[in-house]
Amino acid sequence: MKIDYLEKILNATRVYDVAIETPLQIAPNLTERLHNTVLLKREDMQPVFSFKLRGAYNKMVSLTPKEAKKGVIAASAGNHAQGVALSAQRLGMRAVIVMPITTPSIKIDAVKARGAEVVLNGVSYSEAYEYALKLAAQKGYTFVHPYDDPEVIAGQGTIAMEILRQYSKPIHSIYVAIGGGGLISGVAAYVKRLRPDVRIVGVQPVDSDAMRQSLIANRRVKLDQVGLFADGVAVRQVGVETFKLCKEWVDEIVTVSTDEICAAIKDVFDDTRAVLEPAGALAVAGMKYVVKRDKLKNQNLVAIACGANINFDRLRFIAERAELGEQREAVFAATIPEEPGSFKAFCDLLGDRSVTEFNYRYADSAQAQVFVGVSIAHQPEKQQLFKKLKQHGIDCVDLTDNEMAKLHVRHMVGGHAPRVKNERLYRFEFPERPGALTRFLNNMSENWNISLFHYRNHGADYGRVLVALEVPPSENKAFQQFLVGLGYPYVEETNNPAYQLFLGTKVT
């Protein structure tokens, strides 16, 4: 018998025993930049910082007294685990959560803090899932599926009920992250019954697109592997029920890259000061992609910000990749002559653009390779810059989309330079303002050759710069006067063992 999800969702009001009706907020910066009204459904504001609480609780309140007495079990290392744990705590049920042995302790502790029992088994979610099913059969627990269950789907569908109630104006499209498909199934099943004109667009990472591939193949495809950056949607195979519902109700699925997800996290932060997890920002990334692709203007667009359970140590990577995802940074390698003044001439060609990164190490007496990151307003500006550099005899290789360069090479430019003489190494703090580097170069003597240069813009008031120069002993006094007159804070690192081991002029 076909399930009436509209009725199920309308009757899922007990989710509000634990969940809140989250706001639907206009994102002013995104709205202005995209020329559409962008609304964020703030599911990151739930008590467990994720929408998963809705579906878990709706499933658990549907249990019979006998089932509730025996308790529930789930397999999860993330948001679903916390949703089940909090729901069990509120309902006075026993909850067992099976997690992979690789689960970070912070997530284990968060689930235990909700009163749930944690069992560690397997090295992957799949192994934890199989073990959870085995325990459920042995102990009589009810298994609470993270997505492939009508009660779970209906619980997630209450988000759509709120959206249509909160915003009465026409909505062009609603963007929803997809992992196993529980969230988008509930949203689509509700919206399409009441407002069939509203487009439902699913969003998946390019390396975890099980639902997209399944819809193309018209069968449930099982991926060999999935990307782990957006771990909240890293599902190898979608559900039976969710696949059926997505086939019926979802208009389109788009995929986005890691850099695009990082850019979306930054966009939401700029508008709300909230830091979404990668899966939580998927909908925003997909919305931006569709707006650009279809040249949408003056439409009302809703993106579900579905989670904010992010590990703090991932923020550095996200911040670094966000500008690339927004295509506001060009990363390239340039070849310049190894001769006095060439470094300054190259920097002059960059103009007043903000340099985000600069890596250089002396290699030979003929040419120098520099690794450069530059802020740009748009892609045509990158092409204009490359054309200008080429006109001045400088060859460039575009590395903006080169994954190895962005992940590794940018941090590895260096090495010993045995031909360099009288090298002295200094750390400087440059003021993060236009002209700071030019002032440094203009105050230098032309007799001092720069043999190493490393600079990264960390978004702070000062840029940290590492510079090595060849300074003849006869010019030590003049060099000291240069350092004092420059006025930038500095520390000499010539005797630093890290320099001696990895960058120094003598190979040991």
pLDDT digit string (tens) for the chain, length 508 residues:
789 999 999 999 999 999 999 999 999 999 999 999 999 999 999 999 999 999 999 999 999 999 999 999 999 878 999 999 999 999 999 999 999 887 777 778 889 999 999 999 987 777 889 999 999 999 999 999 999 999 999 999 999 999 999 999 999 999 999 999 999 999 999 999 999 999 999 999 999 999 999 999 999 999 988 887 888 898 899 999 999 999 999 999 999 999 999 999 999 999 999 999 999 999 999 999 999 999 999 999 999 999 998 888 788 888 878 877 777 788 888 888 877 778 888 888 888 787 878 887 776 677 778 888 888 877 788 888 989 998 988 888 888 878 777 766 766 667 777 778 889 989 888 776 667 777 888 888 888 888 888 876 655 556 778 888 999 999 999 999 999 988 888 889 888 887 887 777 654 4
Q: Do the Cβ atoms of 276 and 187 come closer than 8 Å?
A: no
On whether both 338 and 487 belong to a single domain, the answer is yes
Cβ neighbourhood burial of 292 (10 Å; 0-12, 13-18, 19+): exposed
Give the three-state DSSP class for 49. Answer: coil
On whether both 181 and 287 belong to a single domain, the answer is yes
Whether 508 maps to a domain, the answer reads no
Q: What is the CATH number for 242? A: 3.40.50.1100
Return all residues near 109 (Cβ < 8 A) that are at least 6 apart: none
Whether 288 maps to a domain, the answer reads yes
On whether both 254 and 380 belong to a single domain, the answer is no
On whether both 496 and 466 belong to a single domain, the answer is yes
Q: What is the DSSP letter of 401?
A: T
On whether both 305 and 365 belong to a single domain, the answer is no
On whether both 483 and 469 belong to a single domain, the answer is yes
Cα separation, 318 vs 166, whole angstroms: 32
**Of the residues 287, 322, 357, which one is the last residue of a structural domain?**
322
Q: Do the Cβ atoms of 87 and 57 come closer than 8 Å?
A: yes
Whether 507 maps to a domain, the answer reads no
On whether both 384 and 498 belong to a single domain, the answer is yes
> For 195, phi and psi rounded to 5 degrees?
-135, 70
Return all residues near 458 (Cβ < 8 A) that are at least 6 apart: 464
In the chain, DSSP finds a helix count (H) and a strand count (E) of: 20, 18
Number of domains in the chain: 3
What pairs with residue 286 in β-bridges? none
DSSP characters over 385-434: HHHHHHHTT-EEEE-TT-HHHHHTGGGT-----TT--SEEEEEEEEESST
Return all residues near 170 (Cβ < 8 A) that are at least 6 apart: 197, 300
**Of the residues 89, 120, 143, which one is the last residue of a structural domain?**
143
pLDDT number for residue 168? 94
On whether both 45 and 56 belong to a single domain, the answer is no
Amino acid in the structure at residue 332:
F
**Of the residues 111, 143, 175, which one is the last residue of a structural domain?**
143
On whether both 426 and 483 belong to a single domain, the answer is yes
Domain range enclosing 84: 52-143
pLDDT number for residue 508? 40
Whether 356 maps to a domain, the answer reads yes
Whether the pTM exceeds 0.75: the reply is yes
Structure tokens that stand for 455 in this block: 């600079």
